[in-house]
Amino acid sequence: MENKHALAGIGVMVTNEKSEVLLGLRHSSHGAGEWSFPGGKIDLGETMEETAKRETKEETNLEIFDLELISLTNELRYLKDGKQFVVVGFKANTYRGELKLTNPERFHEWRWFPLNNLPKPLFEGTELMIKNYLAHKIYQPE
């Protein structure tokens, strides 16, 4: 039997001056058709903050600053695909740069949304991060 382990990833809630959050419409095999925050897997030897900054820059062209830990989640929705992620969620309170679609093989588009009017369906990690953020709790067991 193959030995499988959960993977560690990062999600980043980037907010603008209108308190809207940045979401991308995914079309990669993992979460296709779902809206998600920027993020991805932690590279070996990389800190969580470095991953948050690298992934956000790679996917959106935005440089992020003033990171705040807002969430820790355990994604189970994709177990059928053989994937489980423990996701550390950060909120980027400051950013600079021009928003661009820099990773078209993974995303169709990026758009800003108010927290009270989010598109559906949401990527599981993003949905759980928002739930934790709105409840003012880092972690909520399922």
CATH number for the domain spanning 120: value is 3.90.79.10
DSSP class of residue 123?
P
> What is the radius of gyration, based on Cα positions, of the chain?
14
| Domain, as residue range, for 24 | 7-135
Q: What's the pTM value of the predicted model, to 2 decimals?
A: 0.92
Buried b (16+ CB within 10 A) or exposed e, 96-128: eeeeeeebeebbeebeeeeeeebeeebbbbbbb
Which residues, in sequence order, are bridge partners of residue 24?
36, 110
- Number of structural domains, the chain? 1
- Residue 1 covered by a domain: no
The torsion region of residue 110 among left (phi > 0), alpha (psi -120 to 50) and beta comes to beta
- Residue 140 covered by a domain: no
- Residue 97 covered by a domain: yes
- Residue 141 covered by a domain: no
Q: Token digits for 107?
A: 């995303």
Q: Phi then psi for 44, rounded to 5 degrees?
A: -55, 130
Residues in Cβ contact with 128 at an 8 Å cutoff, skipping those fewer than 6 apart: 71, 73, 75, 87
**Edge to edge, what strands does the sheet with 35-36 contain?**
35-36, 20-26, 107-114
List the pLDDT tens digit at each of the 142 positions of the chain.
354 788 889 999 999 999 999 999 999 777 899 999 999 999 999 999 999 999 999 999 999 999 999 999 987 776 767 778 899 999 999 999 999 999 899 999 999 999 999 999 999 899 999 999 999 999 988 6
